[in-house]
Amino acid sequence: MNDYTVGVEQEFLLVDPGTRRPVPLAPEVRSASDAPGDLDVQGELTPFQIEIATGVTSSFAELDEQVRRGRRVLVDAADAAGCRLVAVGMPPLGEAGPPPGSDDPRYHQIEYSHRRLVSGTGACGLHVHVGVESKAEALAASNKVRAWLPTLLALSANSAYSDGADTGYASWRSMVWSRWPVSGPPPHWDSPAHYDDTVEALINSQALIDRAMVYWDVRPSADHPTVEVRVADIPQLATEVSVLAELIRALVVTEPSEQRVDDSVLRAAYWRASRDGVDGLASDPRTGKLSPAFDRAAALVRHVEAALRERGTLSTVERQIDWLRHNGCGAARQRRCPDPESLVDVLIARTREET
């Protein structure tokens, strides 16, 4: 029987402690890291970013411990390399495109194919993997999660600033990411053949250079027997990471209760979640009607209540949602800082806070 194991990948930005701007020190941070066997430090598309993946976990407590320990590993490694680790969806100061002379062949291939879409990359997200037994189960899970993706995005929104200015969006990362030809909410899948035929057609069109560029916010993992949900900004705090992962696991476990949603209305709900986060209004992906975003978050918890209760995590999730109600999503907390420089300092401190 499938126990619905969970693993997460956390992506972080590396900044100079003086200028507070992105610095291309990922290779040095990787070299300085001392990750135990159940954690895996990885590079990202740009050398301004670093990622750490947990192992496969079977309980909320185990996942939460690995999330915190992973942050500590990278905080210490970044300090040793002369930079600082920041949990933020986009660089608040400056862009994070690869520096001149970047020798990553795959980056150059994407740059040639997709051109200015690559400029300003440096988006940091949270990827949650839930164990499944087949591609068919992964695609069924994708269909289940699809209508709730805007709510997960709103809960995680943590990228209000870019290039020194408030963008007016709670998740600017998701808006930047939406430029890619294969991104955002996935289609509703009818079968594994439907998925494979669609991806093959996209590769034939050269919208994708390979299957690793399938950037939909839910996808079957190419390397693991999991469904990967990658809609979230990287949250400021470790607790936010663990609770989002638990909500996603519960969505995969829970049978769907909503009818299939229209692609255009769902994308409109995405846009609203990107703009308002969880502190404004949310668009119902079935009807488009607006309501307080926290009402939609509460509806999500009710939808997965049985799965949370069975694993003993319902009260933990409810406490965190209540905390967000009083403190705001990451973007709302960012906007309480007086200027972007102070914001980066606060984000550095908060990234350390729960390690």
Percent of the residues in the chain that have a pLDDT greater than 90, as a whole number? 78
The distance of Cα 76 from the centroid of its chain, to the nearest Å, equals: 23
Q: Which has the closest alpha carbon to 174: 270, 30, 59, 93?
A: 270
Tell me the average pLDDT across 88-93: 96
Tell me the average pLDDT across 108-133: 80
In Å, what is the CA distance from 156 to each residue of 62, 118, 194, 328, 333?
A: 21, 24, 30, 10, 12
Cβ count near 209 (within 10 Å): 14
Which tokens sit at 52? 């750490």
Q: Please spell the DSSP secondary structure of 112-164, one letter per residue.
A: HHHGGGGTT----EEEEEEE-SSHHHHHHHHHHHGGGHHHHHHHH--B-EETT
pLDDT at 1: 36
What is the CA angle 166-167-168, rounded to 5?
95
Q: In whole angstroms, what is the distance from residue 196 CA to residue 216 CA? A: 14
Q: Are 258 and 143 in contact (CB under 8 A)?
A: no
pLDDT at 56: 96
The CATH class of the 6-343 domain is alpha beta
Cβ count near 291 (within 10 Å): 12
Percent of the residues in the chain that have a pLDDT greater than 70, as a whole number? 92
Q: Which has the closest alpha carbon to 257: 146, 117, 168?
A: 146
Cross-strand bridge partners of residue 228: 129, 219
What is the residue whose two structure tokens read 């993946």? 53
Q: Domain residues of the chain, as ranges?
A: 6-343
pLDDT at 138: 97
Phi/psi for 100 (5° steps) reads: -55, 140
pLDDT digits (tens, 9 = 90+) for 92-112: 998 655 555 456 677 667 776
Q: In whole angstroms, what is the distance from residue 164 CA to residue 36 CA? A: 36
Q: In whole angstroms, what is the distance from residue 351 CA to residue 344 CA? A: 10
pLDDT digits (tens, 9 = 90+) for 194-242: 999 999 999 988 888 777 778 899 999 888 899 999 999 999 999 999 9
Query: Residue 355 pLDDT > 80, yes or no?
Result: no
Q: Which of 5-14, 195-204, 251-260 has the lowest mean pLDDT?
A: 251-260
pLDDT at 121: 64
Dihedral angle computed from the Cα positions of residues 193, 198, 203 and 206, in that order, rounded to the nearest 10 degrees? 170
pLDDT digits (tens, 9 = 90+) for 145-185: 999 999 999 999 999 999 999 999 999 999 998 887 888 99
Q: Are 139 and 258 in contact (CB under 8 A)?
A: no
Q: Which of 218-222, 318-322, 345-349 has the lowest mean pLDDT?
A: 218-222
Full-model pTM: 0.94
